Amino acid sequence: MGYVEGLKCRECGRQYNVEPIYVCEFCFGPLEVIYNYEKIKKVISKKKIENRDETLWRYKELLPIDGPPQAGLYSGFTPLVKAENLAKVLGVKELYIKDDTVVHPTFSFKDRVVAVALTKAKEFGFDTVACASTGNLAHSVSAQGAKAGFKRFIFIPATLEASKIVSSLVFEPHLIAVDGNYDEVNRLCSEIANQYRWAFVNINIRPFYAEGSKTIGFEIAEQLGWKAPDNVVVPCASGSLLTKIWKAFKELKEVGIIKSANTKIFAAQAKGCNPIVTAIKNDTDVIRPVKPDTVAKSLAIGNPADGYYAYKAVKESGGYGEDVTDDEIVEGMKLLARTEGIFAETAGGVTVATTKKLIEQGYIGKNEVTVICVTGNGLKTKEAFDGRMSEPIYIKPNIEAFEKTLKRLKILK
Ligand SMILES: *Cc1c(COP(=O)(O)O)cnc(C)c1O
Ligand SMILES: [Zn+2]
């Protein structure tokens, strides 16, 4: 039913059948889903897509599933907000926020990848799903896995934000908090994945899972009137999302839906975890692992699986990368809130603050069309504001107390 031709090694090009596998047996390169674009070109059209439900499944021909969607039925098609107030502050003409803080059932873009991963896990016949997570993936697999009727093993670093732990636990998965950072959690999960026949969404299901990220790119193009923007700024953890947004624009061109795909791709990271941006700045495709230390915990992957490919996508597209301090991240969250009324998590602060730098440095032009990907909701990371937020104004319940406040604020004389 679907249009997938198989899996292909990104390094040596060897092809494999569609199975829950993720590395090449010969060279250990990562496997990628390949499609029959000739066939897709014949069946897909703008009109057809536009007439479908406003979910990520409206692009199903370009997603790696065979039958109907079986998870995340209401995910995707998040707003593309024209950010006129923020544009004014940053001194550019046309700026958009791709707002993945809303619409999704668990309020982050991870609902896109999980929708595809769990559907594929069903197609493969798994009864148990699992993941290694920096927080949002845990939340999404816990929730969507509950609805889809999977047993769930969720592995997180024990130091995750309280709200991300609670928002996973409420769905009653087996939540395993590991005494270690994400990279250690992930290494443990790779070992477990070898021994248990579970669908690890970001390990043995990774080639399929990662394809879900393309839907941000598809939506951006559609919401701009079927045009790819000049620039996209993307937060990076493993680097997968960045590579897939780039792939999305190229695919739309390949199947004849958009005319050109010359988007420059920009990587955004925290200074406390910047292996991809460091490689971009040093102009080397060798990604040096780091030990993460940042408030942007959802991006805290020190040894990024797709770092090399993210580097290549940025370079080939003519983009660049920047990194920002924890203070700049929190300032970015506040700036977005105060100008556009959007409460983003720390990753959104990273992307907004990075965009500001890229504009100041001239990497992003003032007259170009730029999209900032804001990938998760701020209620999940309120710890970032500890000691960095103003207090409410406390008063007694009488009008005199209130008017005294107005005077103090110099609103009343
Ligand atoms: C996971 C995540 C990302 C980036 O994911 P990649 O691993 O680079 O694909 C970005 N933002 C948020 C909020 C995330 O949870
Ligand atoms: Zn290979």
- Cα 200 to Cα 189: distance, rounded to the nearest angstrom: 8
Q: State yes or no: pLDDT of 109 exceeds 70.
A: yes
Ligand 1 atom 10 nearest Cα: 235
Distance of CA 9 from the midpoint of ligand 2 (Å): 5
Q: Are 361 and 88 in contact (CB under 8 A)?
A: no
Over the range 248-274, which residues count as b (16 or more CB within 10 Å of their CB) and which as e? bbbbbbbbebbeebebbbbbbbbbbbb
Q: Is ligand 1 within 6 A of the CB of residue 273? A: no
- Please report whether residue 41 resides in a domain: no
CATH of the domain at 90: 3.40.50.1100
Which atom of ligand 1 is nearest to 213's Cα? 9
> Hey, which of 98, 108, 160, 216 would you mutate to test ligand 1's pocket, going by the most ligand atoms within 8 Å of its Cβ?
108
Q: Say if ligand 1 is within 6 A of residue 75 CB.
A: no
275 Cβ closer than 6 Å to some ligand 1 atom: no
Q: Are 330 and 384 in contact (CB under 8 A)?
A: yes
The pLDDT tens digits of the residues spanning 273-327 come to 999 999 999 999 999 999 999 999 999 999 999 999 999 999 999 999 999 999 9
What range does the domain containing 328 cover?
A: 80-106+211-385
Interval between CA 298 and ligand 1 midpoint (Å): 6
Pocket test for ligand 1, best of 98, 107, 109, 134 (most atoms within 8 A of CB): 109
Nearest CA, atom 5, ligand 1: 237
* Ligand 1 near 136 CB (within 6 A): yes
Phi then psi for 108, rounded to 5 degrees? -150, 165
Mean pLDDT of the chain: 97
Ligand whose nearest atom lies closest to the CA of 269: 1
Whether 346 is in a domain gets the answer: yes
pLDDT score of 130:
98
* Total domains in the fold of the chain: 1
Flag the least confident range among 94-103, 186-195, 264-273, 382-391.
382-391
Q: Is the pLDDT of residue 1 over 70?
A: no
Confirm or reject: Cβ of 239 under 6 Å from ligand 1. yes
- pLDDT at residue 96 in the model: 98
Q: What is the pLDDT of residue 194?
A: 94
Q: Give the ligand 1 atom nearest the CA of 376.
A: 13
pLDDT for 163: 87
- Structure-token match 């900032």, residue found: 372
192 located within any domain: no
Say if ligand 1 is within 6 A of residue 92 CB: no
Q: How many angstroms does the Cα of residue 339 sit away from the middle of ligand 1?
A: 24
pLDDT at site 76: 97
Query: Does some domain include residue 366?
Result: yes
Average pLDDT estimate for 61-83: 97
Closest atom of ligand 1 relative to the 236 alpha carbon: 8
Mean pLDDT for 375-398 is: 92
Cα of 240 vs centre of ligand 1, distance in Å, is 8
Rounded Cα distance between 338 and 121, Å, is 41
17: left (phi over 0), alpha (psi -120 to 50) or beta: beta
Identify whether 215 is part of a domain.
yes
Is 181 part of any domain?
no
Q: Residue range 357-378: average pLDDT?
A: 98
Residue 349 Cβ inside 6 Å of ligand 1? The answer reads no
Give a yes or no: residue 195 inside a domain.
no
State pLDDT tens for residues 7-65: 999 999 999 999 999 999 999 999 999 999 999 999 999 999 999 999 999 999 999 99
Residue 198 pLDDT exceeds 70: yes
**Mean pLDDT of the 189-216 span:** 97
What confidence tens digit (pLDDT) does each residue in 91-102 have? 999 999 999 999
Q: Is 363 domain-assigned?
A: yes
CA distances from 285 to 142, 227, 315 (A): 35, 30, 10
Closest-CA residue to 136 (of 232, 53, 292, 241): 241
> How much is the average pLDDT of 257-283?
98
| pLDDT surpasses 80 at 343 | yes
- Distance from C-alpha of 308 to C-alpha of 188, rounded to nearest angstrom: 22
Distance 6 CA to ligand 2 centre (A): 14
Mean pLDDT of 375-404: 93
